[in-house]
Structure 1
Amino acid sequence: MSRRRALIVGASRGLGLGLVARLLERGWDVTATVRRPSAALADCAGMGPLRIEAGVDIDDDAAVAGLRASLAEQPDFDLVFVVAGVATQAGIPAGLMPRATAAAVFQTNALSPIRFAEAFHKRVAPDGLIVLMTSKLGSVSLNRGGGWGSYRASKAALNTLARSFAGQHGGAAWGLLLMHPGWVRTDLGGRRATLDVETSVRGMVAVIEARSGQRGCVFLDHTGATVPW
């Protein structure tokens, strides 16, 4: 039986790094991208088959095209997981945030993951998954208290673009999963968060493995529960 293959985009630290480690533990072959070399990621090489692609910024179309060319001779992936995202000045109300900052957040969190998916969907194996890291904060129906307005809006936009992307590729042999990892103690989530990285990634990998072969577009959390749109 052939080993499952994963492409993790944004793996230098936090959830991306944790996903690489967990997938290697589970017997996957992993290709991981980073913008800059990561010693922590390099340390994962002893855990299993790991290929690291540095210099990949999802906001840089030329870098994404270069990655696609670099991986052209590799077998297709059972999982393409875009983890990368930002929360720049998230505490500032959107109406007070510099326009350039808001536009940059939208580009990285909403537009660039979809552009990456468009660039790589033909490299997803039949019955594979494209997974985009989103957040429960992107749920419009759950937004009752406000706060983190630009971040919420960027993730809501990602969710909408993902639904459109799935519709445009309705006959595809892969599924699309929007994943909320929980509130995790990372640089983005902060020290008050309720989950550690290991708990979150164990849950996410379990959900991913359980959804192998399933089509359509769903919005789930790390426990497999559906998140309202």
Structure 2
Amino acid sequence: MSEGLRVEVRDRVGYVTIDRPERRNALGAEVMAGLVEAFVRFDADDDVWAVLVTGAGDQAFSAGRDLKELAGQDAAGGPPPSPMRQPLRNPFEVVLECRKPTVAALNGAAMGGGLELAMACDVRIAADHARLALPEALRGMGANFGSVVLPRLVPLGIAYDMLYTGRTVSAQEAERWGLVNRVVPAAELADTAEGYVRTLLANAPLTIRRYKAVIQAGLHQSPAAALRLDVRPDPYSSEDRVEGVRAFAEKRAPRWRGR
């Protein structure tokens, strides 16, 4: 789709690999535009039931915004990289709003925008050597997405600490605070992430999509208000619900159709 980004769909899974290992998978403008395009397509494609995001190599998931590219733009007198004011949609927002379950496999460092991309995903699985940080305070940047989402994922004091200091945390510390869901040896990361995604595909896709929609719409509402949300898709009236009940009665695996 774009230089530095590999995108493919196999067996109902959308695979996205940031492929700039020589730049520690930094997020250049072309890569970020490609992420927007890919996730817009995944969101609209009923044949995509889950998405897996990772980086090339074993050193970095993504080092974040390509600061060398940004420095060149500054030198040329380009506009400042103000969040939510660019001609293209913010890629982290697009990933966050994707209706399909999204999984990030952190194969190395997730820094700045790289961590923001990981936080935009629903589930994060990290190699044991991965390191995570929002170092924007060290570079005069803003971590706009991270400053909104991080306090929703970890205790407030931890969010303040990471944002204020820009410090790097280990995968193990990130797991302790719930910033990553699981830490595995680096050699097992690809298989673990693939196995996790395949576990999702074994479940009813409309139910999973509804779970995501309910969580996102109801997270900050009262239970009474959240319970009354008319969230779609509706698995209760779906063919898959009938199939799931029939499969249970017939003692066989269900054959989901996503409708």
Q: Same fold judged by TM-score > 0.5? A: no
The answer to which structure has the higher helix fraction is: 2
What's the TM-score, normalizing by structure 2? Answer: 0.30
Higher relative contact order (CA 8 A, sep 6+): 1
